[in-house]
A and B are shown apart, each in its own frame.
Chain A
Amino acid sequence: MKSLMIVYNQAHNALVQGALDKCDVRGFTKWNDVEGRGTKDGEPHYGTHAWPSKNMATLAVVEDSKLQELLAELKKINDSAQKQGLRAFVWEAESVI
């Protein structure tokens, strides 16, 4: 079991949802309005006048078998529009009740 946190531009909302569905990941938690900026480049997402775009974050705990497929899907989304911004972070989920 891996925890997967996807932080992405709001514009990708429907696509990320689609990727989760496609890979048969049922459970997730989503934050609608989150702010942040990339490590290297790209525009900040603050929801302000200067930086009006905003991010969303989805936290999903995924079976190891599904992880690679999902990451590939997400990469595809990111490649389709580099400037919008999408990042995924993976770490171990130790136990689930």
Chain B
Amino acid sequence: MKIYESAVKKPVTTALIFVAIVVLGLFSYSKLSVDLYPKIELNAATVMTTYSGASAVDIELNVTKRLETSLSTVSDLKKITSVSKDNVSLITVEFEYGTNMDEAVNDIRSVLDMQRNFLPDDCESPVVLKFSSDMMPIAFISANADVSSKALYKILEEKVANPINRIDGVASTSISGAPQREIQISTDPQKMEAYKISIEQIANLVAMENRNVPAGTIDVGSETFSMRVDGEFKESDEIENLIVGSFMGRNIYIKDVATVKDTLKERSTEIYTNGQRGATIVVQKQSGANVVEIADKINKELPEIQKSLPPDVKLDMVLDTSEFIKDSIGSLTETVLLAGLFVMIVVLFFLGRWRATFIIILTIPVSLIAAFIYLMVTGNTLNIISLSSLSIAIGMVVDDAIVVLENITTHIERGSRPKDAAIYATNEVAVAVIASTLTIVAVFFPLTMVSGLAGIMFKQLGWIVTIIIVVSTIAALTLTPMLSSMMLREDPKRSKAFQFFYSPIEKFLNALDRWYENILRWSVNHRLMVMILAGLMFVSSLFLVARVGTDFFPSSDNSQIGITIELPVGARVEQARKMNTYLYETWREKYPEIEILQTSLGQADGANVFLSMRSSGTHIISYTAKLSDPKDRDRDIFEISDEIRKDLINIPEIYRYTVSPGGNQGMGMGTGGTTLEMDVLGFNFDDAETVARQVASVMENTEGLRDVKLSREDYMPQFQVQFDRQKLAMNGITMTAAATVVRNRINGIITTRFREDGEEYDIVVRNDQKFRTTIDDIKNILIYNAQGKAIRLSELGSVIESFAPPSIEHLDRERVIKVTGTVYDRSLGDIAADVEREVAKIDKPNLIAVEMSGAIEEQQESFSDMFTLLLLVVLLTYIVMAAQFESFRDPFIIMFSLPFAFTGVFTALWLTGTTLSLIALIGAVMLVGIVVKNGIVLIDYINLNKERGASVKRSVVSGGKSRLRPVLMTTLTTILGMLPMALGIGEGSEIWQPMGISIIGGLSLSTILTLVVIPTVYTSFHAGDIKKKRKAWAKMLKLNKAKA
């Protein structure tokens, strides 16, 4: 018994199987967590090696180069980049997408183990750091305070950070911007000199005094007591009363030579929120935890937390990554529902029957819900990709059901009873239905095998559409006939009201049929003309290809702008503060769209790995601007960013700046702008720098590039103490000892910590601020030798002003200077072409090469992947069709609709001013499967007519006429299903807009042309069929006669 026969004969089983699928799907849906993207494992690891005291060049030669050479043997390696700075070497090893990072890191470790012995002696062991997207902060909470600002750190730690840390899924919270408590012993070098006391002495004394010592146990009578000597300071006041030594018979207290302050740390990150100084709490999630869930919980807790705080402390959620996720998912859900509605209207329009419409529409929820089961079983999330896949599939799932139902209706009209009609009518079309499903599967299944970044993006899409389409076909072959047998009537009666509305539609459809028949008849008789016209159309569309720009990824508006401003290197933090106040005032006036402007400036305090990864310094100011909802404003982040750039360029104090729409810390994918990167490779510093500057000026003059900058930083101004080794030796002082003395005076020495309420605070001893502001202060530093003799630094060496060499970067083991620019309002492909042409003109010194990299490199890789995929897909669909028609010729005829699909894609992209991005290309690939479906339906029926004995022309005309409605219907459902996506309604859906546009454009044009061109081509190919048949017949007869 065939599957549809059993389905019709066992309606209860059939119905319940689908009910089970729906229930299981809904259950899975309730368990699915929400995220922005499918889980992406970052494909890079960093090897950090510290070698104290080595300069950038030393590090490069002795550490970086050695490690790079051996690391390049690791398998699946994509590229190695490195930065060699003073004291530290950072090597980033990038792997191919989809590489198992655990294995990769193990490989790296074993390579490093082998190399360890060859590294310089003082060099520390290399550390491997693996980053994952989980390390990205999920929320920033800002805190402002008035009166409580001094105690802010403690308040935030106890009352905000700790409660948030207790929330399930939160990995860590860290506070930055709130200065931490510190006890400073600021010495007066002149008094110290007078009493012959050194900073080291004080530091050691404080450490010795501040100690609890367990002294063992003692038995008293029948009991045992433990002994303790508790010397730790109970109050910070105790410190100043410690006796450091004696001078002329008098005790010298610490307060005699220094001031002891229980205060806040000197240098730290300063954070301003809307111009007000405050602190930020950075929340990171545990790996695999659900962002939306955690953010919801934090948002729920915040009012409670706020209540427990002093009234002047205000908390604000500055960055909530879950908001964008929720908005995107929300708008996509809307898209899916809207698409469903459109599909329903189309079906009703063409069929004009409620029951039939209901039967067809029922396949939508059944097959879409089945996708949730897949997501749950494979541990995936509900994300942009999975939801978009639903939206893509929704217009296609009804196609099979439409074909089946249409045939059942025909049978019923011919007089079969619904039950028999359901079985035999389904039997007739089953093969065609399965074949057309296979063509769709032939397109989407290869997507699951794509590698690289595109692979991660489209794997889920491939699986989901494949599953949905297969389920929809099964439903069309079981559920649809079953329901038809139960619900369709032999003589459906339409109510008068319905008839009133529907009869004009019916008249229109009939007129359309006749009109099409006439066109078809004309074109079959004027085949050459039709084909020439079509050919011209295709060729002329090829000229559009050049006019449509290319991009890697369409960018979307996530309501965030990141801005980094650099003052000249070495500018004091006060300068930065002044600049910040000025900019805040200006921007608040100019851009009312900015809701929250968060600034951080000053040296990072290193409390948080993430924050300390960002470059920081007294001269760097970084902003994160959070804008209002995209619907509530006219300007998008790109326009506003460009305005901000114009503001910044007019401020002479600013050395350079970067404005990144989408935010500084974006994962880069799909949000914000793209960048163009030119790599200048070459060993010679000066030559490379000269070329890099030329490249930079080319890029600055290229239309559409902003924020052009070199990766090699400017030389840092510094004071250098140069000791004379001979003088040092004469005084019995080693270089290290002398250097340590300098460090202790300026940077300070921490030997012990003050404990209070379970918290520890540093006790720092160093020269008072006013004794470390000039070169003379440094020259006057006293250095004691082993004999206790004090010698001034100026006698041992000199202090000179100099510039520190920049860090040295490598790309695949070669020195490189990266010149980067942000793309604004122009397609990446055009810019890249312009830059490449101009850069080629630059006169390059020997051994210096310029290469393009960054997004354009990824773009080229993915584009070539896509073209391979396109070829594969075309081949697969041809195979599927050839198998169905058992002919090489017919699928070839159907393939004629493909060029027009691409004509449509380019026309639509050109008309809407959209660039050809990876997403648009995927749309084009999908089109292959969708477009040939129309051809299959058409050719299948024409073949049928021919086999029934009609002449070729008559077969074509009558076949075309009878298939017009099904073709239009399935096409319209697909097009209207994509429409909400192409319109790009809602936050985050802009990414998918190009796909919607290209599919709608390609499908509309190719369908219109397919309806005329394919029958015409078919007629030409099959015109001689009857003659051939007669000849073959005659030949056979002759052969038989000869034998006889």
A39 within 8 A of B: no
Say which residue of A51, A53, A81, A82 sits within 8 Å of B424 (CB atoms).
A53
Q: How far is the CA of A10 from the CA of B419 in the complex (A)?
A: 12
A95 within 8 A of B: no
Residues of chain B in range 932-949 having any CB-CB distance to chain A below 8 Å: 943-944, 947-948
A52 within 8 A of B: yes
Interface size classification for chain A = 10 to 19
Q: How far is the CA of A81 from the CA of B948 in the complex (A)?
A: 21
Residues of A contacting B: mostly: loop
Cβ-defined contact, A52 with B415, below 8 A: no
Cβ-defined contact, A11 with B424, below 8 A: yes
Residues of chain B in range 768-787 having any CB-CB distance to chain A below 8 Å: none
A19 to chain B, nearest CB (A): 14
Say which residue of A11, A12, A51 sits within 8 Å of B411 (CB atoms).
A11
- Chain A residues with Cβ under 8 A from B943's Cβ? 49-50
Q: How far is the CA of A9 from the CA of B277 in the complex (A)?
A: 88
Q: How far is the CA of A80 from the CA of B947 in the complex (A)?
A: 28
Find the A residue at minimum CB distance from B949.
Answer: A50
- Chain B residues with Cβ under 8 A from A10's Cβ? 420, 424
Q: How far is the CA of A14 from the CA of B948 in the complex (A)?
A: 28
Q: What are the interface flags for B413-447 relative to A under an 8 Å C-beta threshold, 1 for contact and 0 otherwise?
A: 01111011100100110000000000000000000
Q: How far is the CA of A11 from the CA of B417 in the complex (A)?
A: 7
Q: How far is the CA of A49 from the CA of B1012 in the complex (A)?
A: 24
Cβ-defined contact, B415 with A83, below 8 A: yes
| A83-B415, A84-B415 known; A50 vs B420 contact (CB < 8 Å) | no
Q: What are the interface flags for A40-71 relative to B under an 8 Å C-beta threshold, 1 for contact and 0 otherwise?
A: 00000000111111000000000000000000
| A81-B414, A82-B415 known; A13 vs B947 contact (CB < 8 Å) | no
| A80-B415, A81-B415, A84-B415 known; A13 vs B948 contact (CB < 8 Å) | no
- Chain A residues with Cβ under 8 A from B944's Cβ? 49-50
- Chain B residues with Cβ under 8 A from A11's Cβ? 411, 416-417, 420-421, 424
Cβ-defined contact, B947 with A50, below 8 A: yes
Cβ-defined contact, B948 with A12, below 8 A: no
Cβ-defined contact, A13 with B414, below 8 A: no
Q: What are the interface flags for A1-22 relative to B under an 8 Å C-beta threshold, 1 for contact and 0 otherwise?
A: 0000000001111110000000
- Chain A residues with Cβ under 8 A from B947's Cβ? 48-51
Cβ-defined contact, A52 with B428, below 8 A: yes
Find the B residue at minimum CB distance from A15.
Answer: B417
- Chain B residues with Cβ under 8 A from A80's Cβ? 415
Q: How far is the CA of A14 from the CA of B416 in the complex (A)?
A: 11
A11 to chain B, nearest CB (A): 4
- Chain A residues with Cβ under 8 A from B416's Cβ? 11, 81, 84
Q: How far is the CA of A75 from the CA of B754 in the complex (A)?
A: 109
Residues of chain B in range 140-199 having any CB-CB distance to chain A below 8 Å: none
B892 to chain A, nearest CB (A): 19
Find the A residue at minimum CB distance from B420.
Answer: A11
Q: How far is the CA of A13 from the CA of B8 in the complex (A)?
A: 15
B108 to chain A, nearest CB (A): 61
Q: How far is the CA of A52 from the CA of B420 in the complex (A)?
A: 14
Number of A-B contacts (CB under 8 A): 39
Find the B residue at minimum CB distance from A13.
Answer: B420
A8 to chain B, nearest CB (A): 11
- Chain A residues with Cβ under 8 A from B420's Cβ? 10-14
Cβ-defined contact, B419 with A14, below 8 A: yes
Find the B residue at minimum CB distance from A80.
Answer: B415
Residues of chain B in range 390-421 having any CB-CB distance to chain A below 8 Å: 411, 414-417, 419-421
Cβ-defined contact, B417 with A14, below 8 A: yes
Find the B residue at minimum CB distance from A83.
Answer: B414
Q: How far is the CA of A49 from the CA of B948 in the complex (A)?
A: 10
Cβ-defined contact, B414 with A84, below 8 A: yes
Q: How far is the CA of A84 from the CA of B411 in the complex (A)?
A: 9
Say which residue of A50, A53, A82, A83 sits within 8 Å of B948 (CB atoms).
A50
Q: What are the interface flags for B722-761 relative to A under an 8 Å C-beta threshold, 1 for contact and 0 otherwise?
A: 0000000000000000000000000000000000000000
Find the B residue at minimum CB distance from A51.
Answer: B948
Q: How far is the CA of A49 from the CA of B427 in the complex (A)?
A: 11
Cβ-defined contact, B427 with A52, below 8 A: yes
Q: How far is the CA of A15 from the CA of B416 in the complex (A)?
A: 10
- Chain B residues with Cβ under 8 A from A12's Cβ? 420
A89 to chain B, nearest CB (A): 22
Q: How far is the CA of A48 from the CA of B421 in the complex (A)?
A: 17
- Chain A residues with Cβ under 8 A from B948's Cβ? 50-51
- Chain A residues with Cβ under 8 A from B421's Cβ? 11
- Chain B residues with Cβ under 8 A from A15's Cβ? 417
Q: How far is the CA of A52 from the CA of B947 in the complex (A)?
A: 11
Q: How far is the CA of A85 from the CA of B408 in the complex (A)?
A: 17
Q: How far is the CA of A13 from the CA of B9 in the complex (A)?
A: 14
Q: What are the interface flags for B240-276 relative to A under an 8 Å C-beta threshold, 1 for contact and 0 otherwise?
A: 0000000000000000000000000000000000000
Q: How far is the CA of A81 from the CA of B414 in the complex (A)?
A: 7
Q: How far is the CA of A81 from the CA of B490 in the complex (A)?
A: 11
- Chain A residues with Cβ under 8 A from B411's Cβ? 11
Q: How far is the CA of A81 from the CA of B416 in the complex (A)?
A: 7
Find the B residue at minimum CB distance from A46.
Answer: B947
- Chain B residues with Cβ under 8 A from A49's Cβ? 943-944, 947
Q: How far is the CA of A53 from the CA of B416 in the complex (A)?
A: 12
Q: How far is the CA of A83 from the CA of B420 in the complex (A)?
A: 14
Max chain B Cβ within 10 angstroms of own Cβ: one of A11, A14, A81: A11
Find the A residue at minimum CB distance from B416.
Answer: A11
Q: How far is the CA of A11 from the CA of B414 in the complex (A)?
A: 11
- Chain B residues with Cβ under 8 A from A52's Cβ? 424, 427-428
Q: What are the interface flags for A69-97 relative to B under an 8 Å C-beta threshold, 1 for contact and 0 otherwise?
A: 00000000000111110000000000000
- Chain B residues with Cβ under 8 A from A13's Cβ? 420
Find the B residue at minimum CB distance from A78.
Answer: B415
Q: How far is the CA of A36 from the CA of B417 in the complex (A)?
A: 22
Find the B residue at minimum CB distance from A79.
Answer: B415
B777 to chain A, nearest CB (A): 99
Q: How far is the CA of A95 from the CA of B427 in the complex (A)?
A: 40
Find the A residue at minimum CB distance from B407.
Answer: A52
Find the B residue at minimum CB distance from A47.
Answer: B427
Q: How far is the CA of A12 from the CA of B416 in the complex (A)?
A: 7
Q: How far is the CA of A14 from the CA of B485 in the complex (A)?
A: 14
B415 to chain A, nearest CB (A): 2
Q: How far is the CA of A80 from the CA of B491 in the complex (A)?
A: 13
Q: How far is the CA of A48 from the CA of B946 in the complex (A)?
A: 13
Q: What are the interface flags for B984-1021 relative to A under an 8 Å C-beta threshold, 1 for contact and 0 otherwise?
A: 00000000000000000000000000000000000000
Q: How far is the CA of A53 from the CA of B427 in the complex (A)?
A: 9
Find the B residue at minimum CB distance from A14.
Answer: B420
Find the A residue at minimum CB distance from B948.
Answer: A50
- Chain B residues with Cβ under 8 A from A81's Cβ? 414-416
Q: How far is the CA of A17 from the CA of B944 in the complex (A)?
A: 32
Q: How far is the CA of A11 from the CA of B426 in the complex (A)?
A: 12
- Chain A residues with Cβ under 8 A from B419's Cβ? 14
Q: How far is the CA of A49 from the CA of B944 in the complex (A)?
A: 7
- Chain B residues with Cβ under 8 A from A48's Cβ? 947
Q: How far is the CA of A50 from the CA of B946 in the complex (A)?
A: 8
Max chain A Cβ within 10 angstroms of own Cβ: one of B419, B424, B947: B424
- Chain B residues with Cβ under 8 A from A84's Cβ? 414-416
Q: How far is the CA of A53 from the CA of B415 in the complex (A)?
A: 14
Max chain A Cβ within 10 angstroms of own Cβ: one of B414, B419, B943: B414
Q: How far is the CA of A15 from the CA of B419 in the complex (A)?
A: 11
Q: How far is the CA of A12 from the CA of B417 in the complex (A)?
A: 8
Q: How far is the CA of A30 from the CA of B427 in the complex (A)?
A: 21
Residues of chain B in range 909-962 having any CB-CB distance to chain A below 8 Å: 943-944, 947-948
Find the A residue at minimum CB distance from B943.
Answer: A49
Between A and B, 7 residue pairs with Cβ closer than 8 Å are A10-B420, A11-B416, A11-B420, A13-B420, A52-B427, A53-B424, A83-B415
Q: A50-B943, A50-B948, A84-B416 are in contact. List 6 more A-B contacts (CB 8 A).
A: A11-B411, A12-B420, A14-B420, A52-B427, A81-B415, A81-B416
Chain B residues engaging chain A, CB cutoff 8 angstroms: 411, 414-417, 419-421, 424, 427-428, 943-944, 947-948
Chain A residues engaging chain B, CB cutoff 8 angstroms: 10-15, 48-53, 80-84
Which 3 A-B pairs give the minimum distances between C-beta atoms?
A: A81-B415, A50-B947, A52-B428
